[in-house]
Amino acid sequence: MKKNIPIERDVKFRTNFIKLPPEWGPEPVPERIKTLGFLDYFVLWSSLGVGLLVFLAGSLLVPGLSLFEVFMVSLAGSVVGSLLLASAGLIGSKYGIPTMVSLRAIMGKKGSFVPTFFNIIQLVGWTAFEIMIMSQAATSISGPIFGGFTNHFWVIVFGVFCGLLAIGGPLIVIRHWLEKFAVWIIYGLTIWITYQIFSSPNVADLIFRPGDGSIPFLLALDLVIAMPISWWPLISDFNRFSREEKSAFTGTFLGYTLSNTWFYFIGAALIVILGARDIISSILGLIFGSLAMVLILVDETDNAFADIYSAAVSFQNIFSKTKQWKFIVLIDVAGIILAMSLPLAQYEVFLLMIGALFVPLLGVVFSDYILLRKQNYSIDEFYENATGVKIRAIISWLIGIATYFFIYTQYPEIGASLPAFAISALSHYLIGKMS
């Protein structure tokens, strides 16, 4: 016999059942929510450091460089980029705030809207590229099951799934998707792909075969650094949930350095050693290649999730009263539409544009937080006491951007990332001291 359940209790149960997960917007996350430690961040950032787009970025370094040079530039670029990335997350870990909100103390509240706008643009672009390459890989596996609509079908499938992950939020994705499932698949798969590549004949000769010199070593370094730098405008959106700054910093640095280094290198090795024309066909050509591709796609979804989620959080820096899920839907739809129309051939240009905008901005952040303010802001500087626009930060950022473009267009062989970072940081420091 069915028990009588009070109406109030039954309504409450049904309401909670369909309730969306809690949203953590522009306000500081409460201390009880700051539960993530070293392992959580190692898993998160090692997972975000892998994927088809990282393979693709690695493939851009050959035949310009030898495989040995690719490994060296991948290691150097990953160490430098990951160090900058992890350092950028210290503000979020300490104050529990998202990245774009942290810029209010440096650039002013309205001043922070400028990088917020560019960050949203780059994240929509990343979302589109991620969904695009996942759909192309899925189409290669499935064949034209829906005729000319097949690729669009997979775009919609991956777009919707990644949007649902973004609505779930970081705590659910890290603890219940990555740590229990997705990341272990990609770790095992990385070992399997590496074994197949390096068990090929004449590997040693191919590793040390000289490149054709079509890409300077330091320009290649820019392409590697651009990948971790592309994540720094997002990092505090996730690292604000950390129990302490040190564990988040160490987990982020080690996790991203290891995965980014190896996947850049493997991306180049797939082309050189296996002799394939592109990344997708090279993976499908491996033993159990179709299965490997399916498993890669399982983990690839977390990259698009991070882009969609952080774009929504960035939107809330400007429109703080709008629900986060509404921005998630907006970004997701925009990414799906672009994934159906954006040419993947623009990927290298996209990486360099990210470097031009966000490497100098990170120099300004480093200079302000580390050198001028000695890692000490008051929480109200991000909110009620945030000024309108801090002109010196904008000027320093523009100087860094100009430096990047000048070096990239006139002297690409010396690399633009590190000089642009140093010039913007120095400019901000000197202007700050004078004022």
The total number of structural domains that make up the chain: 1
The number of angstroms, rounded, from the C-alpha of 245 to the middle of its chain's C-alpha atoms is 20
Spans of the chain, pLDDT less than 70:
1-20, 344-346
Would you say 216 and 413 are in contact if contact means Cβ atoms under 8 Å apart?
A: yes
Does residue 210 lie within any of the structural domains? yes
Determine, yes or no, domain membership for 18.
no
432 within some domain? no
What's the CA gap between 157 and 79, in Å, rounded? 35
Residue at 214 is within a domain: yes
H or E stretch covering 304: helix 289-318
The answer to the question of residue 305 being in a domain is yes
Residue 363 in domain:
no
How crowded is residue 117: how many other Cβ atoms within 10 Å of its Cβ? 14
Give the domain CATH number at 50.
1.10.4160.10
Range of the domain at 113: 33-343
The whole-number pLDDT of residue 329 equals: 97
- Are the CB atoms for 304 and 127 separated by under 8 Å? yes
In a domain, 37, yes or no: yes
pLDDT number for residue 345: 65
- Whole-angstrom distance, CA of residue 90 vs CA of residue 187: 27
Position 93 scores a pLDDT of 96
pTM summary value? 0.88
Q: Distance (Å, rounded) from C-alpha 196 to C-alpha 18?
A: 46
What integer pLDDT is reported at residue 15 of this predicted model?
A: 38
152 inside domain? yes
| Confidence (pLDDT) at 76 | 97
CA distances from 356 to 70, 110, 348, 349, 393 (A): 22, 22, 13, 11, 16
